[in-house]
Each structure stands twice: as structure tokens, then as C-alpha cells.
């Protein structure tokens, strides 16, 4: 199941939908319109992503199976197609989880990225956080802050917690995961390195694009076997595999839960592979007019344009 959150023209509130596949033109099943056919009447009226996640991992799997059966029924009945689906090209995509309690990120978590930097492999996960205003959806613009001249890209696999837990054993960790999605850990390197810690440089507004869909756990049997990369202006920049993760998803779930309670909707981004701009020779940083696409096998493509920061007071492009 591919959970998306979107806005229709003229509407002020988001809607939850289910994308049929990972392509950019995938039709979207309107979850509210289809709720009764999916056996999800309890979600009416208009459900939110957190309500869907709050169903728990087992119920999400049931909903996913029901959605696959409904798509087959829609294929046989064009009237159902018109009544239950919307055209993805007319939508504005929002973050699949727009209101997480926590956005947790892992640094230096790929073997090949450590080699790229010439740093030792960490003995335990390096943890930092992003703030909520950093979250944006597929197609929204990343804005370059005027205080930075060295903004970088980072393709990452993120997972979302589906069940609350503390002190979770690694052997049971997957039961607490709702699903996976691409995330771009956009980073102001000059701020990051000047501060000596990473939160400010990683948390500027729009610095956490994610989506377009949250792909439920049943669709991804092994998140440690996914190809991952990033394309900048049609040029490949990053190309690796989650096989190179140092600390895998079950380990991270268990490790993080020893310190704090993981809540449904929490986002954990697992780190980036090599090829980022700051370690290239010469370095390569983002500029207005660029377009970034994070791609992950089975999960789809997250594309975001880049623009200068706009003054809220005057609507001017700054920088």
C-alpha cells in the first residue's frame, strides 16, 4: 500500500489517498470515498495520515490487501474508476506524515559514505534531529536560506513508526514499523560545520522533502536490499544500495527506543550514501533553478525544485 497525502485545487485540507504504483502518473484512490469498500468505515469522516498509521501494523496489512483487491475491481468497472480515483497530475503532494512528533536522523551510516569522507566507521549511531518546518512534500520547492552558500543534497531511506514502543528488542523491531519513504536530508554545510553540531544546518525551512508515498512494510520485505540514489539536473550524483548501511532498520528501532518512546508517525531517516556535493572535487552546492530527484527501489522518486528564499514581508527572492 502506497499512502499519499494531497491537496486538491480549491481545498484547504489534505486528503489521504492510496497510489496504485510508484510511477509519477499513478492514479490515486481517494481513501475517504473508498473507505466502505475497503472495510475502513471507522476512518470516516476525512481521515488523516496519523489516523491511518494509528490503526497499527496488522490493520495496515489488512487495508493493503483490501486496496489491492479494490484496484482489481476498479480495472473491471470504469464507473468505479471515475468515482473513487483522482488524477495525480492535478494534485499538490504533502508530506505523507505531515505532523510527526519526532524527525530523527542518522549520520554517517553508510560504509561507502564513510570511505568517501575518510572517517572511521561509527561504533554507535550518530543521532540528530530536524524540526517540523523542514518537512515538505514531493514537488514543493526547497528554499535556499540567505545565511548559507553551501546547501547540499542527501538521498536517504526513511522509515515511519507505526506502533508506540520503548525498549524494543531488535528481533521484534519490524512490528513497530509502518512503512518506508524517500527523504532528502538537505544540509547547509557551512552552518553545520561552523556550529560543531548539526541541528541548525539540517533544520532550515524546507530541508526535509519526503514522499511522495509512504510504502507500507508488507510491500518491502527487506529494506536493507534497496538501490538508492539522487539525480541533480538529470545528472546522477549518488548511486548505492541500502546493503551498505552500517546500522540497519531493526538495530536503529531498538537503539533509539532505549532512550525515548517511539510514537506512531515518528520519522527516522537512516543516512546517506556517497556522492554528496560537499565531498566532490570541486565541491558542488545547490543553486536556484536546480532540480533534485531522490530515487529508491520499490519506493519511487521524490523530486523537488530549488529556489531562493522569499521575503515573507515583500515576496522578494533573496540571496
Specify the pLDDT at position 314: 45
Residues 139 and 281 in one domain: yes
Torsion of CA 197, 203, 204, 209, to 10 degrees: 140
84 assigned to some structural domain: yes
Express each pLDDT in 184-226 by its tens digit.
Answer: 999 999 999 999 888 999 999 999 999 999 999 999 999 999 9
Express each pLDDT in 263-299 by its tens digit.
Answer: 999 999 999 999 999 999 999 999 999 999 999 999 9
124 assigned to some structural domain: yes
218 assigned to some structural domain: yes
pTM confidence score: 0.93
Mean pLDDT of the chain: 91
Specify the pLDDT at position 33: 85
Last residue of a domain, one of 94, 115, 132: 94
318 assigned to some structural domain: no
Domain count for the chain, please give it: 2
Last residue of a domain, one of 94, 127, 147: 94
Residues 88 and 218 in one domain: no
Residues 164 and 274 in one domain: yes
Express each pLDDT in 58-103 by its tens digit.
Answer: 788 888 889 989 999 999 998 989 999 998 888 999 999 999 999 9
Domain hosting 222: range is 103-308
Residues 68 and 172 in one domain: no
pLDDT at 231 over 70: yes
188 assigned to some structural domain: yes
Residues 140 and 197 in one domain: yes
Last residue of a domain, one of 49, 68, 94: 94
Residues 161 and 21 in one domain: no
Print burial letters for 160-195: b (CB count within 10 Å at least 16), e (below 16). Answer: bbbbbbeebeeeebeebbbbbbbbbbbbbbbbbeee
313 pLDDT band, cuts 50/70/90, is: very low
Amino acid at each position: 500500500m502506497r499512502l499519499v497525502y494531497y491537496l486538491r485545487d480549491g481545498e484547504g485540507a489534505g486528503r489521504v489517498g492510496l497510489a496504485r504504483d510508484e510511477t509519477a502518473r499513478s492514479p490515486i484512490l481517494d481513501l475517504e470515498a473508498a473507505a466502505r469498500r475497503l472495510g475502513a468505515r471507522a476512518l470516516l469522516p476525512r481521515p488523516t495520515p496519523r489516523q491511518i498509521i494509528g490503526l497499527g501494523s496488522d490493520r495496515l496489512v489488512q487495508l493493503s490487501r483490501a486496496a489491492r483487491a479494490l484496484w482489481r475491481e476498479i480495472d473491471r468497472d470504469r464507473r468505479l474508476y471515475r468515482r473513487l480515483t483522482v488524477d495525480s497530475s492535478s494534485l499538490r503532494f504533502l508530506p505523507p506524515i505531515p505532523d510527526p512528533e519526532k524527525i530523527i536522523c542518522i549520520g554517517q551510516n553508510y560504509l561507502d559514505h564513510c570511505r568517501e569522507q575518510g572517517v572511521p566507521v561509527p561504533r554507535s549511531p550518530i543521532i540528530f534531529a530536524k524540526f517540523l518546518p523542514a518537512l515538505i512534500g514531493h514537488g514543493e520547492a526547497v528554499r535556499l536560506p540567505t545565511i548559507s552558500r553551501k546547501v547540499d543534497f542527501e538521498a536517504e531511506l526513511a522509515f515511519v513508526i507505526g506502533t508506540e514502543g520503548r525498549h524494543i528488542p531488535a528481533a521484534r523491531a519490524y512490528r513497530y514499523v509502518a512503512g518506508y519513504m524517500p527523504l532528502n536530508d538537505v544540509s547547509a554545510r557551512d552552518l553545520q560545520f561552523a556550529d560543531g553540531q548539526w541541528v541548525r544546518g539540517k533544520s532550515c525551512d524546507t530541508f526535509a522533502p519526503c514522499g511522495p508515498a509512504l510504502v507500507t512494510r508488507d510491500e518491502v520485505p527487506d529494506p536493507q536490499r534497496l538501490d538508492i540514489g539522487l539525480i541533480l539536473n538529470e545528472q546522477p550524483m549518488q548511486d548505492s544500495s541500502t546493503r551498505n548501511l552500517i546500522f540497519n532498520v531493526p538495530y536503529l528501532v531498538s537503539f533509539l527506543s532505549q532512550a525515548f518512546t517511539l510514537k506512531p508517525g515518528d520519522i527516522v531517516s537512516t543516512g546517506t550514501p556517497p556522492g554528496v556535493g560537499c565531498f566532490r572535487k570541486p565541491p558542488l552546492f545547490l543553486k536556484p533553478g536546480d532540480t533534485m530527484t531522490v530515487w529508491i527501489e520499490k519506493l519511487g522518486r521524490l523530486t523537488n525544485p530549488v529556489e531562493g528564499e522569499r521575503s515573507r514581508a515583500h515576496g522578494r527572492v533573496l540571496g
